[in-house]
Amino acid sequence: MENQQALCLALAALAFLAAARRQSARPDKLFCISLTLFCFTFLSRELQIRGERVPDWLESMLRSWRRHILLSVCWGGVLIAARNCWRKMLSTFARWVRTPAGLLMIMGGIFYALTWPFDKGLFHLAKPLNVFLEELGDSIATMLILLSGVWTWRANEEWSSASSLTDASTQRLNG
């Protein structure tokens, strides 16, 4: 199941990255990049890289404190790039979260949160059942996140700044 989760997160990251490339407004582009990085953050948790064919530096990068440094640098870069357009990014988020893509992401987050008690064994179930239910919930969460990425990529005119500006201009002209 973890391979399926990693695949879904990688594809979702690619979908959000493709959506970022389609954006013309900087806040929309940065918002999509932050969604890509969000998926990459979860992907780095799911990846289990081992074996003779994997370079040692890659294995140590994804398995140790170096992963946290790499992610911190990436998130810091996004924060620095977005320092002058926070309000516009929040506006983009407010539009996006009301779309089916945003709702799918929220549902994915809920499924991830629901797996935590199984991961910690809080229900005192048999270990195989705890592991199965946790992995099942994580799989559903990653599929919902992938659907969110695909929806964001395919329907960016529903939430992007450029379309909302166009809609506002059209309403002023027609009204």
DSSP3 helix / strand / coil % (the chain, rounded to 5) = 85, 0, 15
| Alpha carbon distance 79, 95 (integer Å) | 20
| Alpha carbon distance 36, 11 (integer Å) | 10
Q: Which of 47, 18, 21 is nearest to 146 (CA)?
A: 18
Q: Count of CB atoms within 10 A of residue 33's CB? A: 21
pLDDT at 171: 47
The pLDDT tens digits for 37-85 are 999 999 988 776 666 676 777 777 667 777 888 899 999 999 999 999 9
The pLDDT tens digits for 97-113 are 999 999 999 999 999 99
Model-level pTM? 0.83
Kindly tell me the burial class for residue 131, based on how many C-beta atoms sit within 10 Å of its own C-beta (0-12, 13-18, 19 or more).
middle
Whole-number mean pLDDT of the chain?
A: 86
